[in-house]
Amino acid sequence: MSTHGFEAFADNLRNLPRTLKESIIRHGAVVSDRARSQAVFSNLFLHIHSTRIHLRTLSISATFGLGVAAISFFLILLATGVLLMVYYTPSTELAYNSMKDIHFVVPTGRLIRNIHRWAAHLMVIVVILHMCRVFYTASYKAPREFNWLLGMALFICTLALSFTGYLLPWDQLAFWAVTIGANIAASPRELTDALGITKVFDVGGFQKQLLLGANEVGQDALTRFYLLHVMVLPIALVLIVGVHFWRIRKDGGLGQPDANVTAAGKGAVDEPESGSDPASAPTKTYGLMCVVRDQSPATDQTPGDTVPAWPYLLRAELVVFMACMLVCVVLGMIADAPLKEMANPNVPENPAKAPWYFLGLQEMVSYSAFMGGLVIPAVAVVGLALIPYLDREPEPAGVYFSGALGKKVARQSLVFGIVAAVLAVAIPVNFGWLRNWFPGIPQLVIIFVNPGSLLTLAYAAWSLAVGKNTNSTRMGAIALFTCFLAGFVIMTYVGMNLRGPNWDFYWSEADWPVH
Amino acid sequence: MSDRLAPDPLPRRDFLGLAGLWTAGIAIVGSVLGMMRLPKPRVLPETARKFRIGRPEEYPVGSAQVVPGQQVLVLSEAGGIAAISMICTHLGCVVSKTPTGFICPCHGSAFGPEGRVLAGPAPSALRWLEVSQTVDGRLAVNADREVDPGTFFQA
């Protein structure tokens, strides 16, 4: 039966709500597991989930929801960040006043800014914890090596976003942080100066000019950091996060400790169901799974171990997201984000301290700018990035510390890492360092032989020894990661609580000299 | 067997395809490299940093005074007048004057009274800046021009 002319038009108009809905949502009413599965894989945003998930994915101790928490904080940061951009002006003359406006004049401005600041701090924390969880459960192993690399890239993006973010207010903290950061970028000059080749090969100066657009911190620097903070880095982070999520699915979802372990790198199933009839695929969930590497939930486990992603996984994610929102809002109402005095290029604060996550770095920089600010962080990042490629022992993902031996190694490495880091701080504090002992010592020696580089060497040696003694690269990796973690925590603590005016050592802030 | 059936080393169609692909690749890489030239300015937005510091009589022999609003210490000795930059050679914080020399608030570098490194992470001594005299007899310091440490200007 066909209708013509105006009748057809009236029919179409009557059916508009239904046809519009059907054009957007192609699956029918979500009443059965199958319909929910279809909803998940026919929706761009939901299809980052597999249609069915293993029950273990829902267990709290398997992930602690840290990855979801990280992306939740990022979403909160995006929303509050866009709101802050309504009033913020990236100009050296107006930035500070626009921050004052946001804080004291704009309706809800103070709360939004506080939430933005708390979400940023919490994101750094959960990203670090997420990395620890993935590492200690051996979830970086084949076929997940590349996702570990993406995770490292996201970690760096997170820190870069924090750094570019806290200098936008153009207060004292901001100004001196950019100054110090830009001079760290210029610190290869220490080496080229000592070798006398700065005139022909000035990589430090190049990096500094690229960052500041000038030789000194000014309007060009603020413009560049603003651009990085609101455009370049968030776009980079979103793109990498997209691939990160996609790889979780492609690499077989959350690692399963009871999955059959094949030789390293052989997670891929053999040529998947090449003979099966493609026409029958859409009705079979496992038909979708067959291109997934590693053991996918639907091919290797009984259906009793799996549940539909909708509603179980979506509900769990929503709970984590709501919890993150709650924490941010409560903290934002309790504690105000700091705003120091307006930037003053003539007088740095004393002590001039970076935010907590960079204080470990600041402690290292106080030994040598080039080693502590560039070389050691680079060595740490490259070392962490290489772990999945150097430790390829086949092993089930998902067991914390890979068993009793790993727990023991982690405990011993924690003790070693803490003792070595405490010594690296205590010896220079109590006895001075090379320049105090040999005033005429060549600068090259000062650069390379400092407590930070010795500490890094000690950690590397320790992890090699552990790997050799246990005859296991996994144990060596646990030793290295635990040492770096211990070093990071100790250095951060020292920078945060034990350093006072002129970066001198004080047991408590109460001992600081009064001006 | 005719030579038409002999295998071509590289079929014409493949050659044209590859040539097109390489041309596109080189064009894209070239444009990206060209665009990356933009963030590096040819002229830096800087003002001249030469400033007057007053008459020589204001700096009696034996004095060491910080020029207000500038990160420069003017040292006056029997040999003449010198200007020492108070910007730390480590990471660019402004050092403060102490009875024994200078100390940096950011990372604890300590310098002697003439800027020599005593302790801490600073890689080199504080810079000495060029001092000159303008036609009206006042002294001027040029923060863009470095001189060898120990160079005193005879007013």
Q: How many CB atoms lie within 10 A of CB A214?
A: 18
**A152 in contact with B, Cβ within 8 Å:** no
Nearest CB neighbour to A210, from listed B40, B96, B119: B40
Q: Which residues have C-beta within 8 Å of that of residue A389, sequence separation ≥ 6? A: A145
Give residue-wise pLDDT tens across range A222-269.
999 999 999 999 999 999 999 999 998 888 788 777 654 443 333 444
Q: Is residue B4 part of a domain?
A: no
Between the alpha carbon of residue A275 and those of residues A266, A278, A281, A296, the distances in Å are 22, 9, 12, 19
Confidence of residue A191 (pLDDT cuts 50, 70, 90): confident
Mean pLDDT calculated for residue range A449-466: 92
Give residue-wise pLDDT tens across range A61-119.
888 999 999 999 999 999 999 999 999 999 999 999 999 999 999 999 999 999 999 99
For residue A134, is pLDDT > 70? yes
**A470 in contact with B, Cβ within 8 Å:** no
Token pair of B12, please? 């014409």
| CATH value at residue B87 | 2.102.10.10
Q: How many domains does chain B have?
A: 1
Q: Is residue B77 part of a domain?
A: yes
Nearest CB neighbour to B93, from listed A194, A209, A348: A348
Percentage of chain B exceeding pLDDT 70: 95
- pTM (two decimals): 0.87
Q: Work out the mean pLDDT of chain A and round it to a whole number.
A: 85
Q: Is residue B143 part of a domain?
A: yes
Q: Is residue B32 part of a domain?
A: no
Contact flag A504-B108 (C-beta cutoff 8 Å): yes
* Residue A303 pLDDT: 59
Q: Which residue has the higher pLDDT, B98 or A233?
A: A233
Contact flag B106-A182 (C-beta cutoff 8 Å): no
Contact (Cβ atoms closer than 8 angstroms) between residue A120 and residue A126:
no
The answer for A 426-455 residues in CB contact with B (under 8 A) is 432-433, 435-436, 439, 443, 446-447, 450
Domain span at residue B121 reads: 50-147
- On chain A, the residues whose CB falls within 8 A of the CB of B43 are none
Top-ranked range on mean pLDDT: pick from A299-313, A343-357, A501-515, B63-77:
B63-77
* Residue A90 pLDDT: 94
Token pair of A27, please? 């699956």
* Residue B2 pLDDT: 54
Q: Which residues of A241-279 are buried (b: 16+ CB within 10 A; e: fewer)?
A: beebbebbbbbbbbbbbebebeebeebbbeeebeeeeee
Q: Is residue B75 part of a domain?
A: yes
Amino acid identity for residue A440 in this structure? G
Compute the nearest-CA separation of B68 from chain A (Å).
9
Q: How many CB atoms lie within 10 A of CB A472?
A: 19
Contact flag A209-B94 (C-beta cutoff 8 Å): no
Give residue-wise pLDDT tens across range B7-56.
667 788 888 999 999 999 999 999 999 998 888 888 887 777 888 888 88
* Residue A468 pLDDT: 93
CB hemisphere CA count around A222 (13 angstroms): 20
Mean pLDDT calculated for residue range A132-143: 90
* Residue A345 pLDDT: 84
Report the chain A residue with the minimal C-alpha distance to residue B90.
A369
Top-ranked range on mean pLDDT: pick from A198-212, A231-245, A415-429, B114-128:
A231-245
Contact (Cβ atoms closer than 8 angstroms) between residue A420 and residue A490:
no
Q: Is residue B129 part of a domain?
A: yes
Q: Is residue B115 part of a domain?
A: yes
Compute the nearest-CA separation of B123 from chain A (Å).
6
Domain architecture of chain A: domains with CATH: 31-268+287-345 (1.20.810.10), 350-515 (no CATH)
Token pair of A259, please? 């999955």
For residue A284, is pLDDT > 50? no
**A365 in contact with B, Cβ within 8 Å:** yes
**Strand ordering across the sheet containing B128-133:** B50-54, B139-147, B128-133, B80-85, B72-77, B64-66
Q: Is residue B80 part of a domain?
A: yes
Least confident of A115-119, A144-148, A297-301, A444-448: A297-301
